[in-house]
Amino acid sequence: MQDNSGNDRFSLHEFAVDRSIDARRTGRGVTFEGQDGRFTQTWWPMCRSSELAPGKVLGRGFLDGRVAIFRTEKGVAQVVSAYCPHNGADLSVGEVHQEELRCKFHRWCFDRSGTCTRTGSGDRVPPGARVFAYPTRERFGLIWAFNGETPLFELPDLGYPDDELIFHANIPSLDVNADPWIFMCNTLDFNHIKCVHGLKFEHAEPDAEIRWEPYAVHYPLRAHFADTGAPVSYDLAIHGTNIFWQTGVANGHWFGFLFPAGMHRPGTMRCYTIIAAHKGDGSPQALQAARKALDFGMELETLVVGQDLEILNTIRFNRGHFTRSDRALARFMDHIMEYPRAHPGAQWIK
Ligand code: FES
Ligand SMILES: [Fe+2]
């Protein structure tokens, strides 16, 4: 996997965008992210925690605009719209001043709620001078922003409370040229699980066991790899429209796998691989087994994700001629198309 951990605050184009993706963003029965001026309301991963030291600012594309991500000197991260309401300077080239973000151009300051607290000249702050503050969380080694005024749901646990888990030290990322929900469709696409990933189901396709919730879809997967015979027993879920979630055992190792896709530009995703293992009783033996599970999980999931890439980077997704065994995929597409969409930050981030 490609690792994009560099600080890109001075680069104009953080994505090496394949322009042909725009042509691929039309499809029968499908609404792409941003196509109707709105985006699905979910938690979007914005950057790794390790990319943002206290007192630092990063700039990122987000949805169809730009945001600044800053960490206060006390260590709290916040995502806000990038353009200053004074003259439109990009706040990601500004600086953190104590607990606030300060514009480089004329030193207006903004707190974590997005409110302008003072101007650089000392003039009175104009009423309504603010930036849009996205609900922000920091978890699993990532900084996340919710596309909404308030979150519709919270990030899920990865099988256990976070403090009972250890995480793989690396969080690789991967840029893919398709909407995030298209990758997530794979999870309910049982035929592709067999054809692309070589898994044989132990049970009939688990349609009856799928749990549909407003902001998540869950099901158990019991299978084995056709080539090696190695068994897998996973609980799978998609949270929101862009967060793949998996816990369970493969080849005797329990691990958790989170694969959230951020969107720095419509039609693209930046996916992060997060692998967790349980500390057990915390003994040296248990920790050694957990570290082995981390390495096993990272190797397996890197392989599995790699099997999808050529298809995702070239697909012109449409709702085509679905057959009987596509019914879970068809319902998932309905779920995605009916999922809440909004763009409350639109007037600030563009
Ligand atoms: S443009 Fe930001 S303070 Fe003037
Ligand atoms: Fe896949």
Q: Which residue from 87, 91, 92, 119 has its CB within 8 A of the most atoms of ligand 1, so it is best to mutate? A: 87
Query: CA–CA separation, 105 vs 83, rounded Å?
Result: 11
Six-digit token string for 68: 């600044």
CA of 100 to the centre of ligand 1 (A): 14
Given the candidates 2.40.30.10, 3.40.50.300, 3.90.380.10, 3.40.50.720, the CATH classification of the domain at 162-338 is 3.90.380.10
Residue span(s) of the chain under CATH 3.90.380.10 come to 162-338
Residue nearest to atom 1 of ligand 1 (CA): 87
Q: Which CATH superfamily is domain 29-146 in?
A: Rieske [2Fe-2S] iron-sulphur domain (2.102.10.10)
Centre of ligand 1 to C-alpha 17, Å, is: 30
Whether residue 118 has its Cβ less than 6 Å from ligand 1 = no
Query: Closest-lying ligand to the alpha carbon of 244?
Result: 2
Rg of the chain, C-alpha, whole Å: 21
Say if CB 140 and CB 274 are below 8 A apart: yes
Q: Which part of the chain is CATH 2.102.10.10? A: 29-146
Structure tokens that stand for 112 in this block: 């974590």
Please state whether beta strands 211-213 and 100-102 pair in parallel, antiparallel, or not at all (unpaired).
unpaired
CA of 74 to the centre of ligand 1 (A): 24
Alpha carbon distance 78, 137 (integer Å)? 8
HEC-encoded secondary structure of 7-76: CCCCCCCCCCCCCHHHHHCCCCCCCCCCCCCCEECCEEEEEEHHHCCCCCEEEEEECCEEEEEEECCCCC
Cβ atoms of 130 and 110 closer than 8 Å: yes
Task: Report whether residue 86 contacts ligand 1, using a CB cutoff of 6 Å.
Answer: yes
Two tokens, residue 76: 């709290």
**Residues 80, 90 contacting (CB under 8 angstroms):** no
**Looking at the CA of 194, which ligand is closest?**
2
- Two structure tokens written together for 302: 């890197």
Tens digit of each residue's pLDDT, the chain (350 residues)? 333 433 343 333 444 555 667 778 888 889 999 999 999 999 999 999 999 999 999 999 999 999 999 999 999 999 999 999 999 999 999 999 999 999 999 999 999 999 999 999 999 999 999 999 999 999 999 999 999 999 999 999 999 999 999 999 999 999 999 999 999 999 999 999 999 999 999 987 788 899 999 999 999 999 999 999 999 999 999 999 999 999 999 999 999 999 999 999 999 999 999 999 999 999 999 999 999 999 999 999 999 999 999 999 999 998 889 999 999 999 999 999 999 999 999 999 99
Whole-number Å distance, alpha carbon 93 to ligand 1 midpoint, is 11
Burial zone of 113 (CB within 10 Å; 0-12 exposed, 13-18 middle, 19+ buried)? exposed
> What separation in angstroms does the CA of 264 have from each of 26, 134, 229?
19, 15, 39
pTM above 0.85, yes or no: yes
